[in-house]
């Protein structure tokens, strides 16, 4: 349709990707109480479409970038679904990606609530690999290509504004916590660049395919941030699975976390997620 906005298209979009009208109709039929749909081609699962009004272009761009890096090594510790097409119609965005034949780590949990040791090790290895990815220090904090930050520091894990530089983000936090005699300083820790921060380490976001390879399948709360944001997420982990994972991941603590905790708490108290102007 002419009112579709084609926001991202891979150079090698598979020829059997359905038309946008077909994709939208299938998602309409499935309903909007879910954010994903498997599309079959010739009777076999072929594509996964993540859709909804809250889906961001930044998420798609970040997933595409990480997929290109991860999938360049078929023997690597982690895979990521390839992103083929992103478009918007009305207020809904659609990310058309590779369908991974497998099961989530969450679904492999035992009836007693335990996770297999091999699954935990695989997720730890994947998280540690993600933490090796960097962007230059002058990159705007957030997803690839810019946009609102998806991170649990913010209300509903999403900033309501875009921060052009780390310095700007730092200044806004410091304005918020100055009355408490606190401050943050990200300058020294970003000398090696911004780090990819996976702040939503939930078992449903990791899938193991038929060959046993682990895939990271959700990038809604994964952005390039100062390392303190990784330390913040790890320290405040409340979900049991994430707690088990982060205890095993080697990542330095940060003296900025105390002030960040106060800032995050003030965002909750005030109900204001903009963090500055």
Note whether residue 36 is domain-resident: yes
Mean pLDDT of 185-206: 97
Residue 276's pLDDT is: 64
Mean pLDDT of 42-68: 97
Residue 277's pLDDT is: 60
Note whether residue 275 is domain-resident: no
Q: What share of the chain is helix, strand, coil (3-state, %, to 5)?
A: 35, 20, 45
Mean pLDDT of 101-116: 95
Mean pLDDT of 43-66: 97
Q: State the greatest distance between any 2 C-alpha atoms of the chain, in Å, as a whole number.
A: 63
Mean pLDDT of 102-128: 96
Residue 220's pLDDT is: 95
Statement: the pTM of the whole predicted model exceeds 0.75: yes
Going by C-alpha positions, the residue among 142, 164, 138, 144 that lies closest to residue 153 is: 142
Note whether residue 25 is domain-resident: yes
Residue 273's pLDDT is: 76
Q: Are residues 11 and 120 in the same domain?
A: no
Residue 223's pLDDT is: 98
| Helices H / strands E in the chain, number of each | 7, 11
* Residue 16 reports pLDDT greater than 70: yes
Query: Which residue is listed with tokens 């859709």?
Result: 51
* Domain boundary residue, one of 99, 128, 151: 99
* Residue 1 reports pLDDT greater than 90: no
Q: Are residues 179 and 198 in the same domain?
A: yes
* Residue 200 reports pLDDT greater than 80: yes
Q: Are residues 45 and 153 in the same domain?
A: no
Residue 275's pLDDT is: 72
Q: Are residues 84 and 211 in the same domain?
A: no
Cα–Cα dist 153/165, whole Å: 17
Note whether residue 134 is domain-resident: yes
* Domain boundary residue, one of 64, 99, 134: 99
142 or 156, which is more confident?
Answer: 142
Note whether residue 131 is domain-resident: yes
Q: Which residues pair with 87 in a beta bridge?
A: 6, 94
Q: Are residues 112 and 242 in the same domain?
A: yes
Asked which of 81-90, 154-163, 240-249 is least confident by mean pLDDT, the reply is: 154-163
Number of domains in the chain: 2
Q: Are residues 88 and 108 in the same domain?
A: no
Going by C-alpha positions, the residue among 35, 39, 30, 37 that lies closest to residue 52 is: 35
In which band, very low, low, confident or very high, does the pLDDT at 84 lie, cut at 50, 70 and 90?
A: very high
Query: Which residue is listed with tokens 């700007």?
Result: 168
In which band, very low, low, confident or very high, does the pLDDT at 196 lie, cut at 50, 70 and 90?
A: very high
Cα–Cα dist 38/44, whole Å: 10
Note whether residue 276 is domain-resident: no
Task: Name, in order, each residue with C-beta under 8 angstroms of 16's C-beta and a sequence gap of 6 or more.
Answer: 41, 46
What string of DSSP letters covers 89-119?
A: ETTEEEEEEEPP-EEETGGG--TTS---HHH
Residue 107's pLDDT is: 96
Q: Are residues 55 and 143 in the same domain?
A: no
Look up the CATH number of the domain holding residue 29: 3.30.200
Mean pLDDT of 210-231: 97
CA trace torsion 239, 221, 130, 245 (10° rounding): 0
The residue range of the domain holding 32 is 5-99
Note whether residue 122 is domain-resident: yes
Q: Are residues 178 and 135 in the same domain?
A: yes
* Domain boundary residue, one of 45, 76, 99: 99
Note whether residue 137 is domain-resident: yes
Q: Are residues 70 and 112 in the same domain?
A: no
Q: Are residues 202 and 145 in the same domain?
A: yes
Q: Are residues 11 and 41 in the same domain?
A: yes
* Residue 259 reports pLDDT greater than 80: yes
Contact 42, 111 (CB under 8 A): no
Q: Are residues 223 and 115 in the same domain?
A: yes
Residue 2's pLDDT is: 61
Look up the CATH number of the domain holding residue 229: 3.90.1200
Residue 33's pLDDT is: 81
Mean pLDDT of 19-41: 93
Cα–Cα dist 68/227, whole Å: 23
Residue 135's pLDDT is: 98
């Amino acid at each position: 349709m002419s009112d579709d906005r084609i926001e991202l298209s891979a150079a090698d979009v598979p020829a059997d990707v359905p038309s946008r009208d077909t994709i939208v109709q299938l998602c309409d039929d499935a309903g909007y109480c879910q954010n994903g749909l498997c599309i079959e081609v010739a009777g076999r699962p072929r594509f996964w479409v993540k859709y909804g009004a809250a889906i961001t272009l930044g998420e798609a761009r970040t997933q595409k970038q990480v997929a290109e890096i991860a999938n360049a090594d078929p023997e690597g510790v982690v895979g990521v679904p390839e992103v083929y097409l992103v478009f918007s119609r009305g207020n809904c965005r659609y990310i058309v990606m590779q369908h991974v034949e497998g099961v989530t780590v969450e679904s492999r949990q035992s009836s007693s609530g335990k996770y297999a040791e091999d699954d935990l090790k695989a997720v730890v290895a994947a998280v540690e690999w993600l933490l090796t990815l960097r962007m230059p220090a002058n990159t705007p904090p957030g997803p690839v290509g810019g946009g609102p930050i998806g991170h649990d520091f913010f209300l509903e894990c999403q900033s309501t504004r875009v921060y052009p530089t780390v310095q700007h983000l730092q200044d806004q936090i410091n304005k918020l916590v100055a009355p408490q005699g606190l401050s943050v300083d990200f300058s020294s820790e970003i000398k090696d660049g911004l780090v990819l921060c996976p702040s939503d380490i939930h078992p449903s976001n990791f899938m193991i395919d038929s060959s046993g390879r682990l895939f990271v399948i959700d990038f809604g709360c994964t952005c390039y941030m100062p390392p303190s944001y990784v330390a913040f997420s790890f320290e405040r982990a409340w979900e049991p699975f994430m707690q088990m994972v982060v205890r095993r991941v080697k990542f330095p603590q940060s003296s900025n976390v105390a002030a960040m905790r106060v800032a995050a708490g003030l965002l909750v108290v005030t109900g204001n997620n903009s963090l500055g102007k």
